[in-house]
Amino acid sequence: MKTVHSLCARALLGLAALGMSAGAQADYPEKDMRMIIPFGAGGGSDILARTIGAVIEELGLAPVRFTYENLPGASSARGYREASRRKGDPYTMATVSVSFFTTPLITRAPFSQDDFTPIAAISMAPYVLAVKADSPLRTLQDFAAAKRLTTGSVGVVSDARLLSDMLSKQLQVRVDVVPFEGEGEIVTGVLGKHIDFLFSNPSEVLTHIEAGTMRPIAVSAGQRLGSMPEVPTFKEQGYDIEHTMLRSVVMPAGVEPEVVAYWEDVLRKVAHSPQWKARYLDRYKDEPRFEDAKTAAASMRQTQARYTALLKELEIIK
């Protein structure tokens, strides 16, 4: 009987514990969410983070508000380090950028992807291969026939650099990549015929394409873009080139599965809302794409592998 009483007592304690846990979860979230932005105000990551928070608040998808903390510096290491050190904190978030992958590879950054929990990807940023309107490069076959080509990249490592490397391999043509300070300078470089082509997000070149000063050749997505449906993909033209940047949200490692599920559901509703389409997709020409936590984690691993391979080829890392 003593054993039976002991088992019953343990069962009741277990149920009580479950009840407390469920109650605690029912109250989550109870305070404002902290969104860490590892870059300065006004940039792409800043706009992304603030738009996500604004749509959540406008639609009443969570009973709390968002506070934003810009922590630029050290190629994003300062901001991502601050987010990663909050292990298990269900009130800290950050958005993913290229440097989320590259900074830990290139420097002794005090964080890695293992320090974060992917929550969801909320949209997809494709890239457009474009030239000046009067360029003799009219098709990918023209690119392949060239002896040498030049393009631009912001910094040593970027999505544009990665795509240029993929282009060089697939078309078996030499591509020299010139570093620039900003995307605007690269556009100017193409228009001034200082470089032959660029890889850019649609939002940065669409006005030039519509004005007839630049001509698109291909897009890096798996299918044609809603913003320029007349432009074929690389794969349609016979080349195995596909790379996009997923606009994703992460939290520190160690957050509870229930927390992941909560924000995953919230971000799913954001991604499918007309407010998100109007405020972000239509304005910045991103493509609609939602990936849940599991799928987003797999996409991040794939992106990490691509950058690792590129950096090794460039002999930046061993």
pLDDT digits (tens, 9 = 90+) for 164-219: 999 999 999 999 999 988 889 999 999 999 999 999 999 999 999 999 999 999 99
Asked if pLDDT for residue 297 goes beyond 80, the answer is: yes
Cβ atoms 204, 186 nearer than 8 A? no
50-89 per-position pLDDT tens digit? 999 999 999 999 999 999 999 998 888 999 999 999 999 9
**Which stretches does DSSP call E strand in 111-173?**
116-125, 128-132, 148-154
- Say which residue, 157 or 299, is predicted with more confidence: 299
> Tokens 């606009």 belong to which residue?
247
Asked if pLDDT for residue 42 goes beyond 50, the answer is: yes
Cβ atoms 72, 40 nearer than 8 A? yes
245-277 per-position pLDDT tens digit? 999 999 999 999 999 999 999 999 999 999 999
Q: Report which secondary-structure segment, H or E, holds 185.
A: helix 183-191
Coil, strand, or helix at residue 289? strand
Average pLDDT over all residues of the chain: 90
Lowest mean pLDDT among 3-12, 35-44, 166-175, 204-213: 3-12
Asked if pLDDT for residue 8 goes beyond 60, the answer is: no
Question: What confidence tier does 1 reach under pLDDT thresholds 50, 70, 90?
Answer: very low
| Nearest C-alpha neighbor of 188 from the set 154, 141, 158 | 154
172: region left, alpha or beta (phi > 0 left; psi from -120 to 50 alpha): left
